Structure 1
Amino acid sequence: MTRPVDARTDQYVEDVVALDPLTATFAGIAGHDDRLPDLSPAGFDAREELDRRTLAEVRAIEPTDERERVAKDAFLERVGLTVEKAEAGFERSAFSVISSGVHAVREVFDLMPTETTEDWQTIGDRLAAVPDALAGYRETLSAEAAAGRLSARRQYAEVASQIRGWTGQEGASGDYFGNLVADAPAALRDRLAEVAAAASASYADFGQFITTDLAPRGRDRDGVGRDRYALESRYFLGAEVDLEETYRWGWEELKRIEDDMAATARRIVGGGTVDDAVKALDADPARDCGSREAFEAWMQEKADTILASFDGVHFDIAEPIRTIQCKVAPINDGGAWYTPPSEDFSRPGTMWFSFTDDHELFSTWRETTTVFHEGVPGHHLQCAQVVHRADLLNRWQRLLCWISGHGEGWALYSERLMDELGYFEDAGDRLGFLDMQGFRAARVIVDIGVHLGLTVPTDNPFGWRPGEVWDGDLVLEFMRRHSRMEDGQLGFEVNRYLGWPGQAPSYKVGERIWLQARDELKARKGTGFDLKEFHTAALDLGSIGLDPLKAALARL
């Protein structure tokens, strides 16, 4: 059967990776790893024109069946919002501590294989392209700044500091690019050292450009305002929500979670507070791996065990998906993330964890829930399942479509599922789960609050700063009060929220919509509802906006 939606969107994949080799590598599409994209205004023009043209063509196609109907809806929602953001002038100037052209170029090298001489030659070719790529990006940011489209000053300053860390000017990580090629074959080492040094020097120069040219012109205000925030929220969720209602719900949800935390803490230290329980857990040597290497091994064992026990019980897990790698990242920026497998599964799905320079404890009680979130049953079962289901999903759905609210909402749903299934019977691990749940609820509050310029409710359940208007300082103070995260990691997190509007709430709001979708299906199916069937049906839709997800599930 001819599938016109699939055919057109599959061609779009080829067109995208030809213009953007970074996307090819992140998606695991072979044949483009020696190049970098054109990050100049001309490069952005070409990619935006491709989006607009393909969007119009797909809109005119009549789907052949329900599967293509879902695929078309997903494409129109996702690429349509990408075009809308570009036309609003937000895309080219977007610059934050977690999302920018300089981040994408550096991060892609983490995913490149190093097993063969040919692999190292490919790395060398891509390293040699770094100076030109950054020069083009500098041209773009300069043009955006001249047009008055600038990010907040805070973001420029923090990214400049990150670059000094990557280039060995600051911190303990050393020169990222020099370290990258240190183990290259002897026959290639001189050439690789040369292009690595040039890449590092171009990064250092770019960091100076940020400091001297962009930071002084950056916005004083961290918040982006209602119009931009509403669009960013729709982009990250794939759904339109009432922002004020969601803000109020965030306060209620945080109070619910923290009440549960207080009760759980008393199981750890009789009559004690959450802080008492945290102190006791951190002092317990049985909960400290002691080193990065031991922590990596612990993550791997935990993920492998869940994979083995879940197959055929709560999920149907195909053979290629039964492999996951867990790694400590070679940088010290902080955070945890997941990268999907390559298209042919030669690169397995990988959970990454990054420690900041000031990290001292390698505790398991804090991060058991992270393994469930980033690994199994979270992102790994979600993303690897999508890559695997070529029989159900077209290539664009499998490799290029990602909606934060769907993906991160699923990962939080997975943490909640593990609690429902009894995997947090240990009070310490459960406190870690609740701590992260509360952390994500607090992010809903601060993200919407600071970017919309809202006031702290006078009747907020914590009696905290009633009536004050949110700003960056209040965000940091609030997050300190409602998390147990180390200061270095927390500082990065707060800067992330301030510079990436709408993304942080997509976790908890996404979970809320996933749970609503499950409850609605359960109510409709009654005794015929089966949890494993729900998981299979939902994940087999691929990454999809949360509004289209609910619509598709309603048709089951």
Structure 2
Amino acid sequence: MNSTNSVNAVADQHVEDVAALDPVTATAAGIAGHDHELPDLSPAGFEARADLARRAVAAMTATQPADEREAVARDAFLERVGLEVENADAGHDRAELSVISSWAHAIRESFDLMSVETEEGRADVRARLAGVPAALEGYRTTLAEEAARGRVVARRQYAEVAGQIRRWTGQEGASGDFFTGLIPDAPEGRAASAAYADLGRWIETELAPRGLEKEAVGPERYALASREFLGAAVDLEETYAWGWQELKRLTDDMVATSNRIVPGGSIPDAVAALDADPARQLGSREEFRDWMQQLADRTISDLADVHFDIPEPIRGIECCLAPTNDGGVYYTGPSEDFTRPGRMWWSLPDDSDQLTTWREVTTVYHEGVPGHHLQVGQTVYRADMLNRWQRMLCWVSGHGEGWALYSERLMDELGYLEDPGDRLGMLDMQGFRAARVIVDIGLHLELTIPEDNPFGWRPGERWTPDLVFEFMRIHSRMDDAMLRFEVLRYLGWPGQAPSYKVGERIWLEARADAQARHGADFDLRAFHRAALDLGSIGLDPLRASLARL
């Protein structure tokens, strides 16, 4: 049994403490017993969670690791929870609000993971719905206090979130009222919907006029955000320059691959041919869901026990259409006991018309296996190696998204993207992520576009939101509805978008280093298993740990 001041004991106790103060995170992690509750989003609630993080850092600092695994766990905990304290001290956690990340989003999304198939599940849903008005009232108080201190986000983000809330509550759009649809005729759903609608109107009328005109957050805020998403401090200007080089490499590969699809044709010619191919078209959202489920299942069957060690409990994944139409694709992990499976979600905007498969084969690999589902599922499964905090609560975007992007490239290496259309889809998304490195760092640090950039595009101009959209439109094949959401995400969530490509870069460097050290004895399957057994950790400790494998 762990002593009360051991690394694992401190980490495991922190899971219990976080779940009690933040039931939404407990639901997301699959920790049972809190689905009927909501967090206190008043200023006092935020301070309670910040105090918890401070106490946890102090307790973990006092521990002495017993072995290498505990040392990795301790470092990961101090890095992650320490950043929570930094963000709380700076007030960023209280004022944060964007089209993809806010407490309004977190509460709404928590219901996606709750079941209404049993009486107990319905009771939990109704109880949580009943708590929504009080939770949102506390949230409004916090946002108002932060705004009075001058801590606000860009005006555009407030306006866009207000629009999202109108769609969630059925005031506009095709998805209907999310809250009243959970349990028809339940008064708690109507009250929750009304509370959300009130919050949306308040954000639009009270906060939006006080929002910042400029989206750029500047070097100091961006550096902290970058460390939060990467688990590493990187040279941002070097990374910006590397992004241009990587995008050029991928664009050249896309040109060559397009020539295989339409001999002598351009990338747009190849895209038009693929979009017009009846064999690659799907007629409805339901057909789209069924297609991705079939591909995900087939991929797991192919890779298990051949290229990856896939534990039995994660050899299934559930592919779902998201209940809202905001745009985006995301993954939610399995519950701690695996009674809730890992799920891949597609949120398609009302006006999205791209139901074609060639773009999304690589997305299934990214969100499913060998991407997030294998990575997250294996972490949850490894109770024999990882403490409960590592398995249930630790997530580093650069590690996780970097692995998922690495997985896309790996599937090409393994021969699963021999079809040139599917391969073009992979390259398109890789290029899309490289372009995001450029625009995210460029916009938020207010950098200039290099005079000698490889595309000869607007040399010497300074980044603006309009230039971000123009650049991303040139360097992606995404329809305008999806692309608009993506750009809004970068503008309001600084530092997150580059974590995919920067993470992949470090995963590839670590693999190359291991191959060089082991030579002919290098075993790719063993490398992957050992790397994933570390759990989710920052990119700096990941690099150091993989160097010892």
User: Which TM class, normalised by the smaller chain length?
Assistant: over 0.9
More off after superposition, 401-410 vs 266-275: 266-275
- Measure, in 2, the Cα distance between the counterparts of 1:323 and 1:481: 37
Q: Calculate the TM-score normalised by the size of structure 2.
A: 0.99
Matched, 1:323 2:304: no
**Matched residue, 1:87:** 89
Q: Encode CA deviations 1:186-237: one digit per residue, 9 max, x unaligned.
A: xxxx4x2x11111111111000110111000100000100001011101100
Structure 1 counterpart of 2:176, one-letter code: G
Provide Cα deviations, 1:24-77, integer angstroms capped at 9, x if missing partner: 100000100001000110000000000001101101100111111111011011
- 2:62 counterpart (54, 60, 67): 60
Tell me if 1:76 matches 2:78: yes
The offset of 1:362, in angstroms, is 1.3
Determine the structure 2 residue equivalent to 1:369.
362
CA root-mean-square deviation: 0.8
- Measured in 2, the distance between the counterparts of 1:348 and 1:127 equals 23
One-letter amino acid of the counterpart of residue 70, structure 1:
V
Q: Which amino acid aligns with 2:285?
A: R
Aligned to 2:189: 196
State the Cα deviation string for residues 445-467 of structure 1 (Å, max 9, x = none).
00000000000001111111111
- Residue 302 of structure 1 corresponds to which residue in structure 2? 295
Of 266, 269, 272, the residue aligned with 2:259 is: 266
Q: Cα 1:449–1:125, aligned 2, differ >3 Å: closer, same or farther?
A: same
8 Å CA contact retained: 1:22, 1:37:
yes
Q: Which amino acid in 1 is paired with 2:2? A: T
Unmatched tracts of structure 2, length 5 or more: none
Change (3 A) 1:118 1:2: closer
Distance 1:218 1:503 in 2: 21
Aligned residues: 547
1:380-391 correspondence runs (5 A): 380-391=373-384
Residue aligning to 1:2: 2
Q: Partner residue of 1:96?
A: 98
2:313 pairs with 1:343: no
| Residue 444 of structure 2 corresponds to residue 451 of structure 1 | yes
Q: Residues 432-451 of structure 1: matches in 2 within 5 Å?
A: 432-451=425-444
Q: Is the 8 A contact 1:290 1:361 kept in 2?
A: no
Match of 2:237 among 244, 254, 265: 244
**Alignment partner of 2:302: what SS?**
helix
2:346 is aligned to: 353
CA contact (8 A) 2:57 2:81 kept: yes
Q: Are 2:86 and 1:119 equivalent residues in the alignment?
A: no
**Which residue of structure 2 lines up, in the alignment, with residue 137 of structure 1?**
139
SS of equivalent to 2:344: strand
Q: Which residue pairs with 1:492 in the alignment? A: 485
Mapped to 2, the partners of 1:273 and 1:478 lie a distance apart of 18
TM-score by length of 1: 0.97
Shift of 1:89: 2.1
Q: CA deviation at 1:522?
A: 1.3
* CA distance in structure 2 between the aligned counterparts of 1:488 and 1:167, rounded to whole angstroms: 20
Q: Is the 8 A contact 2:155 2:209 kept in 1?
A: yes
Q: Aligned with 1:91: secondary structure? A: helix
Please tell me whether residue 257 in structure 1 is matched to residue 243 in structure 2. Answer: no
Q: Gaps spanning 5+ residues in structure 1: where? A: 183-189
- Which stretches of structure 1, 4 residues or longer, exceed 2 Å deviation after superposition? none
* Amino acid aligned to 2:35: D
The 1-side partners of 2:68 and 2:521 are apart by 22
Mapped contact 2:28–2:110 kept (Cα < 8 A): yes
Displacement of 1:361 in angstroms is 3.1
Cα shift readout 1:486-524 (whole Å, capped 9, x = no counterpart): 111101000000000000000001100111111111111
| Counterpart residue type for residue 132 of structure 2 | V
- Matched to 1:169, the amino acid is Q
Q: Answer yes or no: is 1:514 the counterpart of 2:507.
A: yes
Deviation at 1:91, TM superposition (A): 1.3
Give matches, 1:389-408, under 5 Å: 389-408=382-401
* Match runs of 1:195-214 below 5 Å: 195-214=188-207
- C-alpha contact 2:23 2:37 (8 A) present in aligned 1: yes
DSSP-derived class of the 2:452 partner:
coil
Q: Distance in 2 between matches of 1:547 and 1:202?
A: 43
What is the aligned-residue identity percentage? 69
Matched-pair contact (CA < 8 Å) for 2:159–2:204: yes
